[in-house]
Structure 1
Amino acid sequence: MRRGHLSWVAVLLFAITNLPSRGLAQQAPEARSAERRIQLVKLWGTVRFRHPQALSKPAEWDAAFLAALPKVEAAKDAQSYAAAVQGMLAALGDPATLVEPETPPATSIPPPTLRALKSWEKDVLVLDLRNLLGPEAQSAWAELEQSVDADAAKARAVVLDLRMRGLTRYGLPWVLPALLPHFIEGELSVPGMREVAHMGLKPQDGEQSVHDTHFLVSASSLITGTPGKKPALLVFLVDPSTALDLSVLALQAQGKALLVTEGPLDDSSINLQIPLPLGEGYRALMSSNEPVLPLSADLARPVRVRMDGPDEGMRQALALATRPPKRGSLPARTPRPLATWRPEPAYPEALYPSRELRILAGAKLWTAVDSFFAYPDLMDRPWESRLPELLEKMEKTRNATEYVLALAEAGTWLRDGHVHVRGHPELQRFFGVSAPVWVTDIDGKAVVLDVFVPESMPGLAVGDIIEKVNGEPIDERARKFAPYTSASTPDFHRHVTLRRALAGPDGSEARLTVRDAKGVKEVKVTYRQGLGFPPSSRKEAFQLLDGNIGLVDFALLEAWQVPALFEKLKDTRGIVFDLRNYPRGSLWALAPYLDVKGSRPFALGESPFVGGLHSGWLKNTSHASPNAPFKYQGRTVTLIDTRTMSQAEHTGLMLEATADTVFVGSPTAGANGDITHAVLPGGVRFSFTGANIRHGDGRQLQRKGLEPHVKLRPTLAGLRAGRDELLERALQILKEKPAQPTSTRRE
């Protein structure tokens, strides 16, 4: 056995080692190129929603990605790869967002020659603060602190040397906050930092939404100077390795300080940078915030070549301290303008986008979901693991139809009933126009629940079984749409795929093979775009039924009708709420009348929050208002099924918490929360749930739906007999239970 096993290993090793070397040589670059592409997408997406200026440059940021992608994929070595990524970041116009080695190369720059910690040039005090880096820093600082107020009173100006080249990058960040009060007269207001803040994903075409984008600005701080006379001017001598303080910018804006720099100066001296891995020994640093006041030098010098040679930077700093510029000769230091939010490019002309634009579409979809989808914890797989598959799908599509269907298929990975992919003509051709009919699954058959426009489907009746469309079995047609249909529950998925199986091209006709109680018949259906679905077959939003029971149809009920509803039904034995539809926003008006249990929340919510430095979840609760003339005292029963979705489910949460309603029917669609959408190349609009909603006690709603207390589905016999079996059961429940007192309690 052992020899046989070893012989097979030997054969396998021989086969591997004798494979053509060209194949293995090609595989490694392909894998490396794919990994680089993934890193580029992640970086692009992070910067898109977290950099303070990216929201104003969506078109430029897209163009930067499209230009960088082929260079990144073709890069022959790590240095070329890093250079290609740096080229993309350059589009931001922010030198503080850059690519650098993960391990900075060892520097051979000799340390500079330092002056004494404190010296005088006539009446100019010179502080070489770099002396505080040494082992005697604590005692040196204590000595300086004791004499600095007296020195400040004598000095006409002060030069503060904070150049760190050849020493410690960003060294001494504590020294300016500790030292500057000794040079400030009175109070100095110091404007803070600001970062972008996305409260959910603001719809990328500019549509109004509860989701929006803001800037968070830290409050200005106040520095109070020590008593005594102060110098008229401070001159700060810095370089790219200096850690600056916001107070320097405030003094500069008031004309009380000048900034002399050796080498380029950017926000990295003052802001916070987020490291983002790129692999292959490199990382990107991204500016996560920016100072409210601009950072710029009053005098910029080139980098000092010899650290032991003449100190030209100090000479010029002293010259400015001795002979400062006239007031008004320097540019005004007004706050930086806020970046302006701009809508996302839709590229509507690119119905079949180029390869690079398709990869960008994948990047946009993945990033939007990664940042703003409300239910990441319910995904079947970690979303990050989907990125390679998504990019591969985008790359391999061969035409416009395959492109949009690949996007639709990616949407099914969310298992979210709010996912819709719209806006592209190939989507319209593939999915067609819905027939004006509701169908449900009864024992695996597509059974008609309601016909909205009978003249478009003459001869079709409630209770009919639709077996074929143009001779094709309806289940086969449903399977065609199943891979591209997102739904939160299996029942809702079946519901949607049956509807799509009955759809057809706008303006066309189809022949349905239908079975009724008498046998098989043919029904012709006419498809017309915008035909619309009447909200209900009933005529009134609320009515009084026999047995002193009210009936409310949420499909018809408007908020303004609620007072009249309760005036009519306030003394009823109970109310049946029909929630097998989409409401018209009446829940907030209803809740105060029904809230007999107090002000506990009926729903808990969370929305994704993405900012430069801070990201997380914004929590909220839904409560019933206490303001109502009276509280309804009767019992309630609510009818539900898979048509109960989103706002309808939120209404159900309200009825559950305020009135302990009894749910009768089948589980609802399991998709609740405000919808948001991303815009993708080809004019595609990709919608998904942007807010996480749970029961008031914290139980999960998404992917489960509202669960009925009394499980009941329509039967074929009942539908054909014209019965509403759910309504019948609700009326029976209300009649069986003891009646509540009919008088209303005044608050």
Structure 2
Amino acid sequence: MSKHLLFLFLLLTFQGIAKPQQISETEKLASTAKIWGFLKYYHPQVADGKFDWDNQLLEILPKVKSADSKEALSEIYLNWIAGLGEVPPCKKCDKNSDETYFDKNFDLSWFNNPDTFTSQLSDKLKFIEQNRFQGKQHYVYAPYKQVGNIALKNEPEYKNLDWSNPDMRLLIAFKYWNYVEYFFPYKYQTDQPWDTVLLETIAKLETARSEQDFHDALLQMIVKIDDAHGGFTASQNNYYYPNMKTQFIDEQLVVRGFYNDSLAQQSPIKRGDVILAVDDVTVENMIQNHMDFVWGSNPASKFRNLGYEIIRSTEPSTKKITFQRDGEVMNVDVQNYVVSDILPKQPDKWKVLNGNLGYVDMGKLTHDDVAEMMEELLNTKAIIFDIRNYPKGTLYLIASYLVPEKRDFFKVIQPDLDYPGRFKWREGMQCGNPKNNEYYAGKIILLVNEITQSHAEFTTMALQTSNNVITVGSQTAGADGNVSTLELGGGIKTTISGIGIFYPDSTETQRKGVKVDVEVRPTIQGLRDGRDEVLEKALELAKS
């Protein structure tokens, strides 16, 4: 090789090595979100509340946007960290290794991404992790330590949030993303990796042209946690509903009943009618265009929530309902109501059915009713506990009549505030009563469906420890664990499952729902005939 060619080769090679590594705008902002959140909960000076941390983000964002390479960006972050003060050695941090952790959610591997950070910055972040804050966190806390949910504190309200400021939009989104990153027990179960959700959300926020666009971007991010507890609100709306209860059956929205039967007699709509459109917007269109905005842990809970959204309104107006019955399409205008205003007198909380079979509506039974209920049903052949509703905290007392010894029915994971992102196993409580010599000895049958959510699923798990028990119905909502409410600022609120609930054998309930022994789903024809096919199957099993 000639000297000239050798010189040219070496020059090109040197230029290739020395050329600063480019990084996209979205990747720069995503790395900022991660570092900002990490320092918020890990850096001793930041986690102790020494800085206005929201303002720190707003000040660093312009610098980040101006960085033209990985090297320049890492230098900005290193200077930022240097200005936060000393990170003293942490002797207590080594003791965390003695904990039994559930670590499916924990991942700080992004420290070492060579496409985003220099090795110097990666080493600095690792050093902060190894010498992380140990003390009373300034921005999060556990209101009830025996439960374990983590709540926000010391977060600005931003009553007059300027949504048109792109940096403020990012601030709200980063705040939520990092809460999920470090304190959501079911992050590992999401369909889409949480890292890619961040990238998608940043792109949507950058192009938001209205407050609704901003809210839609946040809602779509929240939906991606795949949690039926993951509600979202940006205003204090009251909701109004037609006098009908609906249910999706094979992606058809069907009338399954009414809140008030007297009002129903004045309407041409009947049980089993298939709703085709509401105010001329087809149900098919709603499914196609709105599923990305509907939260839920599984298809059962998503379709349940979509059914609510389709028929409700934010004002007491009328709605045009287009429905089909026996091939005939009809239209009717129906009045909307606040549901609590039209509910009739509550029916029996429990009763004895033909064949000496007990039936209990768990959505109506109160703690004060349990003793009387069990006395009346003690000698029945079977008791059917209907949990297709939201129970009123009666599970432990009922279990004391059904379970002749103390039995485990769940265990739990909760966030470790001394090591954010990691979760500690904790044994759950037991149910049952070994001192009860006259416990119920008949069959126990539990009825569940997609309405069975959260405390209802927890109640089901407890009663499933009974002898001779069978669970009948369909997949439940799959949202178990006490709810945490997050106020992100600007009136934007969301909820999230705060702790992780598992069966004693570590079987997951989140997204999957509770264990169902006999699967039964209602049919459109069954609704038209006025039948409760799930209850019918329970009665059949009780008599067999």
Q: TM-score range by the shorter chain?
A: 0.7 to 0.9
Residue type of the partner of 1:643?
Answer: I
Cα pair 1:358 1:681 within 8 Å, conserved:
no
Closer, same or farther: CA 587–51 of 1 in aligned 2, 3 Å: farther
SS in 2 for 1:552: strand
Closer, same or farther: CA 451–86 of 1 in aligned 2, 3 Å: same
Instruction: Determine whether 1:68 maps to 2:60.
Output: yes
Greater displacement, 516-525 / 627-636 = 516-525
Which of 22, 36, 39 is the aligned partner of 1:47? 39
Residue type of the partner of 1:279?
Answer: F
How much does 1:355 deviate? Answer: 0.5
Structure-to-structure mapping, 1:113-132, within 5 angstroms: none
> Corresponding residue for 1:676?
484
How much does 1:83 deviate? Answer: 6.4
SS in 1 for 2:39: helix
Unpaired segments ≥5 residues, structure 1? 1-26, 99-169, 174-191, 198-274, 293-340, 737-747
Closer, same or farther: CA 658–698 of 1 in aligned 2, 3 Å: farther
Residue type of the partner of 1:697?
Answer: D
> Corresponding residue for 1:371?
182
> Corresponding residue for 1:124?
none
Counterparts of 2:175 and 2:182, CA distance in 1 = 11
Select the structure of larger CA radius of gyration: 1
Deviations 1:446-468 (A, max 9, x none): 11112114687751332222122
The root-mean-square deviation of aligned C-alpha atoms, in Å, is: 3.5
Instruction: Determine whether 1:288 maps to 2:288.
Output: no
Instruction: Determine whether 1:398 maps to 2:246.
Output: no
> Corresponding residue for 1:583?
391
Counterparts of 2:459 and 2:228, CA distance in 1 = 17
Closer, same or farther: CA 547–590 of 1 in aligned 2, 3 Å: same
Closer, same or farther: CA 615–490 of 1 in aligned 2, 3 Å: closer
Q: Which has the higher contact order (CA 8 A, sep 6+)?
A: 2
Cα pair 2:246 2:254 within 8 Å, conserved:
yes
Counterparts of 1:441 and 1:653, CA distance in 2 = 25
How much does 1:433 deviate? Answer: 4.7
> Corresponding residue for 2:443?
635
Deviations 1:563-601 (A, max 9, x none): 1111111111110111111111111211111114x3331
How much does 1:734 deviate? Answer: 1.1
Structure-to-structure mapping, 1:311-710, within 5 angstroms: 342-350=153-161, 352-424=163-235, 433-453=240-260, 458-459=266-267, 460-516=269-325, 519-528=328-337, 530-532=338-340, 539-596=347-404, 598-612=405-419, 615-626=422-433, 629=436, 630-710=438-518
Unpaired segments ≥5 residues, structure 2? 1-19, 97-109, 137-151
Percent of matched pairs sharing the same residue:
26
Deviations 1:377-398 (A, max 9, x none): 3222432333222222222222
Counterparts of 1:576 and 1:474, CA distance in 2 = 35
Closer, same or farther: CA 690–58 of 1 in aligned 2, 3 Å: farther
Closer, same or farther: CA 443–350 of 1 in aligned 2, 3 Å: same
Cα pair 1:641 1:667 within 8 Å, conserved:
yes
Residue type of the partner of 1:503?
Answer: R
Cα pair 1:535 1:581 within 8 Å, conserved:
no
Closer, same or farther: CA 715–455 of 1 in aligned 2, 3 Å: same
Counterparts of 1:291 and 1:446, CA distance in 2 = 52
SS in 1 for 2:212: helix
Cα pair 1:78 1:280 within 8 Å, conserved:
yes
Cα pair 1:559 1:585 within 8 Å, conserved:
yes
Cα pair 1:58 1:344 within 8 Å, conserved:
no
Deviations 1:714-739 (A, max 9, x none): 23333223222222221221112xxx
How much does 1:707 deviate? Answer: 4.2
How much does 1:76 deviate? Answer: 5.5
Cα pair 1:194 1:291 within 8 Å, conserved:
no
Greater displacement, 606-615 / 565-574 = 606-615
Structure-to-structure mapping, 1:220-239, within 5 angstroms: none
> Corresponding residue for 1:95?
85
Closer, same or farther: CA 90–456 of 1 in aligned 2, 3 Å: farther
Count of paired positions: 486
How much does 1:612 deviate? Answer: 4.9
SS in 1 for 2:407: coil
TM-score under structure 2 length normalisation: 0.79
Counterparts of 1:73 and 1:650, CA distance in 2 = 47
SS in 2 for 1:410: helix
Deviations 1:509-532 (A, max 9, x none): 21112234694443323335x544
Closer, same or farther: CA 78–423 of 1 in aligned 2, 3 Å: closer
Cα pair 2:390 2:453 within 8 Å, conserved:
yes
Cα pair 2:47 2:133 within 8 Å, conserved:
no
How much does 1:400 deviate? Answer: 0.8
Counterparts of 1:660 and 1:59, CA distance in 2 = 59
Closer, same or farther: CA 437–610 of 1 in aligned 2, 3 Å: farther
How much does 1:342 deviate? Answer: 3.8
TM-score under structure 1 length normalisation: 0.59
Deviations 1:16-64 (A, max 9, x none): xxxxxxxxxxx975x3544333232112111222345545649811011
Counterparts of 1:516 and 1:474, CA distance in 2 = 16
Residue type of the partner of 2:312?
Answer: A
Counterparts of 1:652 and 1:493, CA distance in 2 = 21
Residue type of the partner of 1:695?
Answer: Y
Closer, same or farther: CA 718–618 of 1 in aligned 2, 3 Å: same
Cα pair 2:477 2:511 within 8 Å, conserved:
yes
Closer, same or farther: CA 562–290 of 1 in aligned 2, 3 Å: closer
How much does 1:89 deviate? Answer: 4.8
Cα pair 1:365 1:680 within 8 Å, conserved:
yes
How much does 1:499 deviate? Answer: 2.1
